[in-house]
């Protein structure tokens, strides 16, 4: 009886210890999630609070439900936020698509073909990431001025592509290296062309890598400010990064409008992430193991 009781006591202590460990882990996860979400929650609360209440102490953590949408409607009516959002959507979506596609073509060539200068080409792509963007700002500005691409969303997209294509190539090459070559060889033996094999076999298998690369390029193009500030002058061609900076005044800054605009600006990237999140982790880690 005493031996059985001892075993039961040990088993009970193990179960209590396991439950306590799970509770501690759940509490830690909830705390980290709350710490990550709270800045966005506070940004939204600040956006719907009157300016006179922004610096009250102690601050109110719960928003007032009286006029939640009024600041946002006022913001769209009094500023060009809708136009800036549309400009950013066009630039970011188009730039991310072209950078991912051209980067995929370049990465596939570097991954599958052996040619003279292949190693030097890879090294050159990596070297382009060592230089800060401001170093190339003046030469690109002079070149775009001669080509008539200043104050143009097309010119801004070309400037982004110059920096995003090497990044996309580096990300996707590691992923293509992990795809077995035997799958492509089997397709070529069956009579498919190299280009057909690329679009029918390699690209579908590299969907997680393409999704993560596309999301990465989209976020960079969506948040970029330096080249947009240099190349775009007319407010009708501004992107959201320029529009947000325009709310800052010399003597006063309407923080409620800034937070309302920032809340709206974060939504497209968040929606994009929600659609592509299942591919993101696989795409970022798949290139780590070569198949």
- Round the average pLDDT of the chain to a whole number and report it: 81
pLDDT bracket for residue 72 (50, 70, 90): confident
Cα gap 160→166, rounded to integer Å: 11
Instruction: Say which CATH topology domain 70-288 has.
Output: MetI-like fold (1.10.3720)
Cα gap 45→48, rounded to integer Å: 6
pLDDT reported for residue 93: 92
Average the pLDDT over 81-98 and give the result: 91
Distances (CA, A) of 16 to 3, 12, 13, 20: 20, 6, 5, 6
Q: At what angle do helices 70-78 and 255-285 cross, to 10 degrees?
A: 100
Q: Is the pLDDT of residue 248 over 80?
A: no
Cα gap 166→216, rounded to integer Å: 13
**Helices and strands per DSSP (H, E), number in the chain:** 13, 0
Q: Is the pLDDT of residue 291 over 50?
A: no
pLDDT reported for residue 32: 92
Higher pLDDT, 248 or 188: 188
Average the pLDDT over 223-238 and give the result: 88
Higher pLDDT, 51 or 114: 114
User: Where do we find the tokens 């800036």?
Assistant: 84
Cα gap 48→66, rounded to integer Å: 10
pLDDT reported for residue 203: 85
Average the pLDDT over 268-290 and give the result: 65
This prediction has a pTM of 0.79
Q: Is the pLDDT of residue 139 over 70?
A: yes
pLDDT reported for residue 268: 82
What are the boundaries of each domain within the chain? 2-47, 70-288
Cα gap 179→204, rounded to integer Å: 11
CB atoms within 10 A of CB 261: 25
Q: Is the pLDDT of residue 158 over 60?
A: yes
Longest dimension (CA), the chain: 95
Phi then psi dihedrals of residue 277, to 5 deg: -65, -30
Average the pLDDT over 212-227 and give the result: 89
Contacts of 40 (CB under 8 A, 6+ apart): 263, 266
Q: Which DSSP symbol is given to 289?
A: S
Average the pLDDT over 101-127 and give the result: 84
Average the pLDDT over 1-21 and give the result: 67
Phi then psi dihedrals of residue 254, to 5 deg: -75, 90
Give yes or no for a contact between 176 and 291, defined as CB atoms under 8 angstroms apart: no
Higher pLDDT, 208 or 7: 208
Average the pLDDT over 11-16 and give the result: 78
């Amino acid at each position: 009886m005493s031996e059985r009781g001892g075993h039961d006591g040990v088993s009970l202590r193990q179960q209590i210890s396991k439950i306590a460990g799970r509770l501690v882990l759940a509490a830690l996860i909830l705390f980290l999630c709350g710490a990550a979400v709270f800045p966005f929650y506070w940004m939204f609360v600040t956006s719907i609070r009157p300016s006179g209440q922004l610096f009250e102490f102690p601050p109110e953590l719960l928003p007032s439900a009286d006029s939640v949408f009024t600041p946002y409607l006022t913001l769209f009516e009094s500023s060009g936020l809708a136009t800036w959002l549309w400009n950013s959507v066009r630039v970011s979506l188009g730039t991310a698509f072209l950078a991912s596609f051209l980067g995929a073509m370049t990465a596939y060539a570097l991954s599958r073909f052996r040619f003279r200068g292949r190693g030097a080409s890879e090294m050159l792509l990596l070297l382009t990431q060592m230089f800060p963007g401001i170093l190339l700002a003046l030469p690109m500005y002079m070149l775009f001025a001669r080509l008539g691409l200043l104050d143009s969303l097309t010119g801004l997209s070309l400037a982004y592509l110059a920096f995003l294509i090497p990044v996309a190539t580096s990300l996707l090459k590691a992923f293509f290296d992990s795809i077995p070559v035997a799958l492509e060889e089997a397709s070529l033996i069956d009579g498919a062309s190299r280009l057909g094999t690329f679009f029918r076999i390699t690209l579908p298998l590299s969907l997680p890598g393409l999704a993560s690369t596309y999301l990465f390029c989209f976020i960079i193009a969506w948040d970029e400010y330096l080249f947009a500030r240099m190349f775009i002058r007319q407010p009708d061609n501004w992107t959201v990064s320029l529009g947000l900076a325009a709310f800052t005044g010399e003597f006063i800054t309407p923080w409620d409008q800034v937070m309302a605009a920032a809340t709206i600006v974060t939504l497209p990237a968040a929606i994009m992430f929600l659609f592509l999140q299942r591919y993101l982790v696989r795409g970022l880690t798949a290139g780590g193991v070569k198949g």
